[in-house]
Amino acid sequence: MAAWAKGIQNMQEEPLDEALKEIDIQMRKSFLEENQRDETPIIRPSSGTVCATQSYYIKNGFKREPMPPTIMATFVMGHFVHEITYAALRSGLPDGVNIDTEISCETGFPEGCNKMGTADLVLTIEDESLLPEMEVKHILGDVKTMTGFGFRGHKSAGYDQLGSDCWGHVSQLSTYSHSPTLMEKYPGIEKAGALLIAANKESPQMGIWPRHVAPRAIAEARERTLKNIHVSKDEHPGADLFDKYGSEVAFYCGASGRKGYCPYVKRCQEERRKSDYAK
């Protein structure tokens, strides 16, 4: 956080130019290409709200609800916040700490899942005297733009173990921390846990808030993700997230009326209402 604040106040021209170039590319791509795509449904283990039920629906080829047509506005805002965060960190990190961003990598997941992904950032402590107690010199980081409500929750959340992880943030970290590409490029990264870096999109002046997610929480998330991926096509798993978290989950899945999170939310709600697996 101190590095971010220092970077924001002393923004360097080179990382800023790099960020502006990338923002231009990402915005063009989002508005001119991504909103045209009609892709085959695949399981995206690294995205939020992936659950066993959703994997079952995908494997059975059930019809999806389309994403809201205005969702691109949310995506481009996310790209903008990411790029400015990277530029601030590049400008403010101390000598001896290196940062790589937007790293394309294999997920290592089986057929039917997304095979490639993009990790937000990896920090490398080149100067060991900075953090002598650190056994591994690389650590993965993921930037999440959050509302003020989410930001406050993140600041006090426990990340020693998995917890609810309704947004799938820890699942996403577990995907990238165990990516074959990253484990080869950054030896030991899978043992370091990871940083979940919140950026408050409602009050950007509050800065970023990184929290360390313990290796145990990452391991639990990975186990759950693998279980979700390998769900049987022939056996309905029940309303996975709904059953685990009750009505609270409607907010995350989109069942509370907020569109755009799970494309199967209507089917899921309907089945849950009718079936004996519903609680």
Residues of the shown chain interacting with ligand SF4 in the complex, contacts defined by CB under 6 A: 49, 51, 53-54, 239-242, 253, 262, 264-265, 268
Q: State the minimum distance, in angstroms, from the CB of residue 137 to ligand SF4.
A: 37
Nearer to ligand SF4, 141 or 254 (CB): 254
Nearer to ligand SF4, 76 or 241 (CB): 241
Nearer to ligand SF4, 4 or 167 (CB): 167
> Which CB atom, from 89 or from 262, has the smaller least distance to ligand SF4?
262
Kindly state the smallest distance separating residue 131's Cβ from ligand SF4, in Å: 38
Smallest distance from ligand SF4 to CB 200, Å: 25
Q: Which is nearer to ligand SF4, 2 or 226 (CB)?
A: 226
Cα–Cα separations (whole angstroms), residue 196 to 32, 120, 265, 269? 30, 10, 27, 31
Decide whether 58 or 208 has the Cβ nearer to ligand SF4: 58
Least CB distance to ligand SF4 at residue 176 (A):
21
User: Least Å distance between CB 86 and ligand SF4?
Assistant: 30
Please, which contacts does 113-120 make with residues 24 or more away whose CB atoms are closer than 8 Å? 113/42, 113/43, 113/44, 113/45, 113/229, 114/42, 114/43, 114/44, 114/45, 114/46, 117/46, 117/175, 117/176, 117/179, 119/176, 119/179, 119/182, 120/82, 120/197
User: Minimum distance between the CB of residue 256 and ligand SF4, rounded to whole angstroms?
Assistant: 11
Shortest distance (Å) from residue 54 CB to ligand SF4 = 4
Least distance in Å: CB of 233 to ligand SF4? Answer: 15
Q: Given the complex with ligand SF4, which of 83 and 240 has the nearer CB atom?
A: 240
Q: Which is nearer to ligand SF4, 87 or 162 (CB)?
A: 162
